Structure 1
Amino acid sequence: MIKSIQFLRSRRYEVFSPQQARCFSVSITRSRQPSTTVSSPTHFDFSGESPDAERTLVSALGSCASNNDVTCGRQIHCRVLKSGLDSNGFICNSVLNMYTKCRLLADAESVFRSHAKLDSASFNIMVDGYVRSRRLGDALKLFDVMPERSCVCYTTLIKGYAQNDRWSEAMELFREMRVWGIMLNEVTLATVISTCSHLGGIWDCRMLQCLAMKLKLDDWVFVSTNLLHMYCVCSCLKDARKMFDEMSERNLVTWNVMLNGYSKAGLIDQAKELFDQITEKDIVSWGTMIDGYLRKNQLDEALVFYTEMLRSGMKPSEVMMVDLLSASARSADSLKGLQLHGSIVKTGFDCYDFLQATIIHFYAVSSNMELALQQFEASVKDHIASRNALIAGFVKNGMIEQAREVFDQTHDKDIFSWNAMISGYAQSLSPRLALLLFREMISSSQVKPDAITMVSVFSGISSLGSLEEGKRAHDYLNRTSILPNDNLTAAIIDMYAKCGSLETALTVFRQTKNITISPWNAIICGSATHGHAKLALELYSELQSLPIKPNSITFVGVLSACCHAGLVELGKTYFKSMKNSYGIDPDIKHYGCMVDLLCKAGRLEEAKEMIKKMPVKADVIIWGMLLSASRIDGNVEVAELAAAEIAEIDPSHGGCKVLLSNVYADAGRWEDVALVRQEMRTRDVEWSRAFSGVV
């Protein structure tokens, strides 16, 4: 991008004559392969001379340009040449316009070179032709040699760069336009505002609004609407609403822009209030409200709006149905999903391939692979998205063999096919198969791995614990053009930590810019797992000084570190800060860490009270911690409580009975030992018997 800006700034702003420009156009044309295909002409009757022949020709050429009628346009061009009217600049520009609008640039360049009376309109038409064909380099070259540069040509070029997502170059052209003192119009300003919304912040919004007011262009509704959109994109909704309320004229697009601003910001109540004020709602208005509720995971409310929309006579779009069905899949509400599937069939949207894939995905997430398979059989089987949805569905439901069967039957595998299968093996504790498939991918497939592939590969290697495999995969990544994101960096750090090389994990962490929480979680948890509590807590302190918010995984690592180091009070402080400072509700893993911390410190009563206050029911692991600590502490009462809770959760759990028996034995209560052993025999409780591997 910087090179592009430097190129624009280094251009020579020279004024060329039309003859020089014509020669320059020849040099552009020679760098391109001329078109040799000529459409066979059809009959076109243009006989007779009349006083308004010029007007008739121009009108006919305009019609050809609008209807993309190349054959008729060529015949009129021939008539112009035969009648000698090619010396008429107005007619010649109309011919030029016809060829550019029909995307026949070779013919347009030929007309431009032979043009007897080149004027600014000729140049504008030619520049516009290059822009329409995405030949921005040629458009810029011709623009640089124009004898006169007007607002029209600048606007055309700015628009071209903006439409091709080259926002910085577009803004540089706008600045150049202002430096040369060329007055801009409402179209230019609207285009610049739209471009700046991809780059600027609040001050750019305000400066452009001031410019619009200064030039008295803010009365144009599309200029004001673009400004409103820019404020919304910059999350300046107060400024946006103030401007919205002050607008002298609003159209439906304006209302929808403000509505979308509220919806994207999660301010659904304000969006609802604004929505109710719209007199004539269109599909965009309804879709924005539905999307707003889906963003807030409020499927029921979204469906209420969907029903109201249908009652108003408005028909849904295919994108809306995809969003609603996908939300049903996320909420695991199979009944609503089934109803939506019925609506999709009634509206005829089931013929769309991408909707077929969404339906398969919905049934797979609902653990109904039978219906997912039926839907696949009824769809276009060659559609790769449907096959990928089925593969991912089998993987999600633990049906790896069936997933592999569909994968092997897929001839045109794409990156999603490979990623779904490799990820499936990595998640199903088949890491060696994941690595085998990865090697097959890089050796025999035209599809190359991406960052998501490598995350699954490193995850599989972490399960294997093979440092050599990890190093090989890391070396491969360094040799490729795959740009590691934070998730991939976290996977690499986690792999090295789990393979026993914490030092390498720390080196990788320090070598990368970690702007999200994932790499921090990987290194903090890895350090804690290896018993490096001091390092883990130092990293957490470093994280607190950055504008990165920790999440629940971060605190699992932090509390584990406190547990390893026996830092009870510090652990309690961090545990309380989860809710008080970061709004994170502790889950069973965090309570497990705290119970373990208190048990290891011999504070059994506190541990027991914490278990009682847990918002979720304690599992066997947490009660097992208390039972083990009770034996070490010799606390028979707490041991009996913990053993009773474990027996209620899992009556066949033999380990708790053995531990309770040992607690009784340590306390010299041999009658109770005998009772526990007798109970284990009568209830056929299973437990692992000790054995020697030597004798």
Structure 2
Amino acid sequence: MLVMYAGRLLPSLRSNSLLRATRRLLCFFHGASPRIFIQCRQWSPSRDVARANHVISVLSREGRMTEAHKLFDEMPQRDVISWTALISGYVRSGMLHQAQLLFDRPDSMKDVVTWTALLSGFLKSKMIKEADDLFASMPDKNLVTWNTMMQGYIENGLIDKACKFFQRMPVRNVVSYNTLLTGLMKAGYIDQACRIFDQMPERNVISWTTVITGLAQAGHVNQARELFDKMPDRNVVSWNVMFSAYAQNGRVNEAKELFDEMPERNVVSWTAMISGYVQLSMNETALMLFCEMLQDGNCRPNQATFVSVLDAISNKAALVEGRQLHQVIIKSQLEHKPFVGSSLINMYAKCGEIGIAQKVFDLSSQRDLVSWNGIIAAYAHHGNGREAINLYKEMKAMGFKPNDVTYVSLLSACSHAGLVDAGLMIFDSMVRDQSVVVREEHHTCLMDLCGRSGRLDDAKTIINGLKTQSLSGFILGTFLNGCSLLGEADVGKLVGDKLLELEPNNSGTYTLLSNIYASAGKYKEAAKIRQKMIDRGLKKQPGCSWIEVGNRVHVFVARDVLHSESESIYGLLHDIHDMIRRAGCDVEDNRDATDQGV
């Protein structure tokens, strides 16, 4: 049997496929985590009504609400499912006013599912009072209704109200408990969530995983592991949560042990482990694990995988590996995904290929704010301040609104290019933009901008205007670096003393202060700072650089004598110095006496 609609012939569907379609329709408004399943009710007794209801549900899922409503109006006979299908479609499409008008019609047919659909719409639209009034007026409520209301409170940040509501519930199931557990964990109420978990009459794998996730995110990794070991059943999500907790807390060896024990892995498992290595700057290990993933063949890399691997390559500035990965991404048809495209731009920029980075941006078919931020950051990385500012203006002309990341890149570009006035104007523009929250990174970039240009008075004015709790080690450290560049020993001492109070174990602060004193000829003060550093057992990390030659990355540290070609390299440097001197130029030795032996 065929049914005609909108010029198309639709096959008559068997009742089981209609049932599945209707279940999907009626369950949509409960979101993803945790899912609440609505028990099926009696099916429409008329086949014609059932087929029309199915078409309305299909049109609603596609967002074609005008057509769905037209079909609804043309139905000679409707049942409660017809009304629920259309009302739910309007709720799904965010057209809550139309849903409410339909719901309030005198001839409307409603049951508990219909009421719950509109209730969910109010909650998702943050209309809490309307949701409360509707819930209070409901003639019938089932467990799904109660769970929906509690989840709505949680999603709107009303965790205390959700807890009181949970206590009022006449009956609860595992979904009720899991919903509250998730809300408590997200709100940081770890102890209260653990008490609820202990009181649960029954638990499923979601219950266990929710608590383990909350403990891990709060830094209680050992406690999370104890709970993980007690789990009666585990799925791949549970394993991913546990070893990711180790990786995110820098315990990468324990993460790898758990990763190796996993009975099965998915793409999230591989990506999380790779990302853990990248966060700890173990870039070579991350690339090796990615190769292992490709050889395993059971999981295909996704966008997140490629972003992490591109970060590893960017950190190494390994252009050859970057080009090879770019080919893999093209074959995976993910090149034009915003985050992947932005990571490709960043990788080429850090490998010194700003021209290729620009080509990747130009060929992007889906430019969004992420892509624009990526190319602006690329030019900032290369110190091309003018180009970064021009791109910023072009981005705004295209209708894109800058965010906090955009401004960090712009201020950094102005700092490295010495565009002080332009940087100050951009900062003022950001402050006036009420949609952007001024963060620590913005003030740090501003300090760097003033310090590099010798405008320490402006920097001091900015610091004086900040609240005491906003003065972080990064901001003061950047200001101290400006004092070092300008040889301002007196100002540097005041800032350095304050910085040492905040970060007494930061070797960089001691080194900067020592260098400031030495540059001003105050060698005794410099020696005292060095002695304090030694007494605390601190050691300055040597500078490090690397270059890729012939598919091999060569790494160098300050005063390196361990490289296999060190004698030849120093000999070449000596010859270059001689050539410069013979040309009549002075060769400045920037190695400070206080840095000898470091």
Report TM bin, short chain: 0.7 to 0.9
Deviation of the 1:655 alpha carbon = 5.4
Instruction: Give the drift of 1:247.
Output: 4.5
| C-alpha distance in 2 between matches for 1:295 and 1:620 | 35
1:555 equivalenced with 2:410 (yes/no): no
Residue 641 (structure 1) aligns with: 494
Q: 1:348: which partner in 2? A: 202
Q: CA deviation at 1:591?
A: 0.9
Would the alpha carbon gap of residues 471 and 226 (structure 1) be closer, same or farther in structure 2, given more than 3 Å must change? same
Gaps spanning 5+ residues in structure 2: where?
1-5, 26-45, 543-557, 561-569, 575-598
Larger radius of gyration: 1
Question: Per the alignment, do residues 194 and 407 of structure 1 end up closer, same or farther by CA in structure 2, a change over 3 Å counting?
Answer: same
User: Structure 2 vs 1, CA of residues 648 and 211 (structure 1 numbering), >3 Å: closer, same or farther?
Assistant: same
Q: Give 1:674 shift.
A: 4.0
Q: What is the rounded CA distance, in whole Å, between the counterparts of 1:508 and 1:677 in structure 2?
A: 51
> How big is each residue's C-alpha offset from its partner over 1:238-275, in whole Å with a ceiling of 9 and x where there is no partner?
33333333344433222211111122233334333433
Partner of 2:53: 190
Q: Is 1:308 aligned to residue 168 of structure 2?
A: yes
Q: Give the 3-state SS of the residue equivalent to 1:446 in structure 2.
A: coil
The 3-state SS of whatever aligns with 2:258 is helix
Give the number of aligned pairs: 518
| Residues 244-255 of structure 1: pairs in structure 2 closer than 5 A | 244-249=103-108, 250-255=110-115
1:337 aligns with 2:193: yes
Distance 1:314 1:526, change over 3 A: same
Q: 1:655 to 1:367 in 2, by over 3 A?
A: closer
Whole-angstrom distance in 1 between the partners of 2:146 and 2:132: 10
| CA drift at 1:574 | 2.9
Which residue of the partner structure matches residue 299 of structure 1?
Answer: 159
Task: Report the CA distance between 1:210 and its aligned residue.
Answer: 5.0
Contact conserved, 2:336 with 2:365, CA < 8 A, in 1? Answer: no
Which TM-score applies when normalising by structure 2?
0.76
Distance (whole Å) between structure 2 residues aligned to residue 404 and residue 284 of structure 1: 41
What is the Cα deviation at residue 436 of structure 1?
Answer: 1.4
1:234 and 1:666, CA in 2 relative to 1: closer, same or farther beyond 3 A? Answer: same
1:496-542 CA-partner distances (Å, limit 9, x unpaired): 22222222222222222335432222222122111122222222223
Structure 2 counterparts to residues 279-678 of structure 1, below 5 A? 279-309=139-169, 313-318=170-175, 320-343=176-199, 346-349=200-203, 352-380=204-232, 383-480=235-332, 485-578=337-430, 580-581=432-433, 583-615=435-467, 616-630=469-483, 638-651=491-504, 656=509, 674=524, 677-678=527-528
Instruction: Quote the Cα distance in structure 2 between the aligned partners of 1:533 and 1:297.
Output: 42
CA distance, structure 1, for counterparts of residue 117 and residue 336 of structure 2: 35
Contact 2:515 2:526 in 1 (8 A): no
* Residues 1:266 and 2:122 are matched in the alignment: no
Residue in structure 2 matched with residue 231 of structure 1 by the alignment = 90
Closer/same/farther in 2, CA of residues 689 and 324 from structure 1, 3 Å limit: closer
TM-score by length of 1: 0.66
**Counterpart residue identity of residue 187, structure 1:** A
C-alpha distance in 2, partners of 1:692/1:421?
34
Aligned partner of 1:150 in structure 2 is none
Q: How far is the alpha carbon of 1:488 from its aligned partner?
A: 2.1
In the alignment, does 2:133 pair up with 1:277? no
Shift of 1:548: 4.2
**Contact 2:185 2:211 survives alignment (8 Å):** no
- Secondary structure class of the residue paired with 2:446: helix
Quote the residue 2:548 is aligned against: none
Asked if the contact 2:278–2:311 (Cα under 8 Å) also holds between the matched residues in 1, the reply is yes
CA contact (8 A) 1:354 1:385 kept: no
Flag the structure with higher helix content.
1
> Cα distance 1:247–1:394, how it changes in 2: closer, same or farther (>3 A)?
farther
Amino acid paired to 1:347? P
Question: Does the aligned pair in 2 maintain the 1:596–1:625 contact within 8 Å?
Answer: yes
Q: Could you list the runs of 4 or more consecutive aligned residues of structure 1 that deviate by over 6 angstroms after TM superposition? A: 8-11, 159-165, 664-668, 689-695
Q: Is the 8 A contact 2:197 2:207 kept in 1?
A: no
Distance 1:385 1:278 in 2: 38
Q: What is the alpha-carbon distance in structure 1 between the residues aligned to residue 222 and residue 24 of structure 2? A: 45
Relative distance call for 1:625 and 1:457 in structure 2 (3 A) is closer
Q: Are 1:631 and 1:663, in contact at CA under 8 Å, matched by a contact in 2?
A: yes
Aligned equivalents of 2:61, 2:105: Cα separation in 1: 24
2:59–2:67 Cα contact (<8 Å) kept:
no
Give the conservation status (yes or no) of the 8 Å contact 1:260–1:288.
yes
Query: What letter matches 1:321 in structure 2?
Result: Y
8 Å contact kept, 2:174–2:202 = no
Compared CA separation, residues 499 and 162, structure 1 to 2 (3 A): farther
- CA 676–499 in structure 1, closer or farther in 2 if over 3 Å, else same: closer
Distance in 2 of aligned mates of 1:254 and 1:164: 14
Paired residues of 1:193 and 1:208 also in contact (CA < 8 A):
yes
Is the 2:56–2:72 Cα contact (8 Å) retained in structure 1? no
Shift of 1:587: 0.9
Q: Which residue of 66, 69, 75 maps to 1:209?
A: 69
